[in-house]
Amino acid sequence: MNKNMVIGVAGLVTACGSVAAQPQIEELGWVLEREIDFADPISALYNPADGRIYAGDRDADVFVVNEDGTRTQVGNTAEVGGLAVDPRNGDLYMAEDFPGRVRRIAFGTTTAAIWVNGFDSGDDDPAGVCYVPEDYVGSLFTPGGMALTDRGFGSANEVWSFQTATEQGEAEVFDDGAGGELVDPFDIAVRADGLVVIADSTNGLQFLIDNGSGGGVVVPFLTAPALTAVDGVAIDGRRNDLFAIDSDLDAVVRVNIATGVVSTVISNVGLGVTEWGNVNIDTGPETQRMVVSARESDKIYVFAAVPGCNNADLALPFGVLDLADIGVFVDAFTGANPIADFDDNGIFDLADISAYIGDFVAGCP
């Protein structure tokens, strides 16, 4: 469990002197690290190969964001539907919606080579794409490969797998045919233990499970409250929950996989319609980053969770355990904030208090 002090920013004074809306951090443990102006961003992500932000422009190309906020084109494409990175080497894979194909941009190059284009005959609309962990133990995808949704605009909604070692070689994992289990599958997330979740903008979150015959079957993931416009989903690599974005809520939310309970992480993001795959997570060894794209406000936000010296170190200055840390824990505990659930069982009780006291007394290394 990552436990840190929130540093919130209430507003931004524009050149005209008015106050522009800013995202509000609702879940303890996150800070707004960077705000980037970017027109119509799609699936912005953090690339661990160089520590930079890459994003698609829905109506243009794929860009890397420079330190000064300017952007440099790294791939010439059209109708970007989703973007994913191979964390082992920094290669980018982008789903091209209307052209019906996936392109690869090898790290350090600006050539967007066609990687997969042999989907079903007819109208193919690849959208969400994600990396499958190397330690994946499920049966639907290949470890170290990619998972992909086809949003079926004019044809069947489908899920595909393809390889990162060789081009083409795509395999169909799910086809809803006339079943209608999926309507607008904008994004997909795969966890190492075999969990697969689809973000369907119309039908909410869906589990994809093995049907026992070499393919998958879709089962609704009931959440409380229901998510009515969920356009992106990602795995929280530290707590194994889900992060999702919901355009109707205008928020990034956390979804407890065991209970389906939804809690707000970031509110007032500035989301519009069809925020395709616009939440991405990088779980680094020291800092976890959440990259959120907001097409309505033409922004990319980078949120970071920087660990303290131990689980009791919740407040600035990090590395010092004092009354400020105790105050944050008390507020989190009385407010049923997940940061105070030290045993991760969804119950706030004496066990959590005892665990916090133990960490506090142990002190910083």
Q: What is the pLDDT along the chain (365 residues), one digit of tens a residue?
A: 433 333 332 232 233 333 346 899 888 778 898 999 999 999 999 999 999 999 998 777 899 999 888 999 998 777 888 999 999 999 999 998 888 899 999 999 988 899 998 887 667 888 999 999 999 999 999 999 999 999 877 778 899 999 999 999 899 999 887 567 888 899 999 999 999 999 999 889 999 998 877 778 999 999 999 998 999 999 998 888 999 999 999 999 999 999 999 999 999 999 987 788 899 999 887 788 999 999 989 999 999 986 678 888 887 677 789 998 899 899 889 988 878 888 888 899 999 999 999 999 999 87
Q: What is the pLDDT at residue 285?
A: 78
Element (H, E) at 323: helix 323-334
* 166-169: long-range pairs with CB below 8 Å, 24+: 167/104, 167/113, 167/114, 167/115, 167/116, 168/115, 168/116, 168/117, 168/118, 169/116
Distances (CA, A) of 324 to 150, 299, 308, 314: 49, 33, 13, 8
Degrees, nearest 5: CA angle 222-226-230: 100
Q: Is the sign of the CA dihedral 109, 111, 116, 120 positive or negative?
A: positive
Q: Is the sign of the CA dihedral 276, 243, 172, 156 positive or negative?
A: negative
Q: What is the pLDDT at residue 192?
A: 94
Diameter of the chain measured on Cα atoms: 64
In terms of CATH architecture, what is 35-284? 6 Propeller (2.120)
Q: What is the pLDDT at residue 179?
A: 66
CA-atom Rg of the chain in angstroms: 20
Residue written as token pair 């980037």: 36
Domain coordinates of the chain in residue numbers? 35-284
First to last CA, the chain: 18
Distances (CA, A) of 102 to 27, 110, 146, 189, 259: 35, 15, 11, 17, 35
3-state helix, strand, coil split of the chain in percent (to 5) is: 10, 40, 55
Q: In this structure, are residues 205 and 244 in contact, taking their beta carbons and an 8 Å threshold? A: yes
Residue written as token pair 């393809």: 162
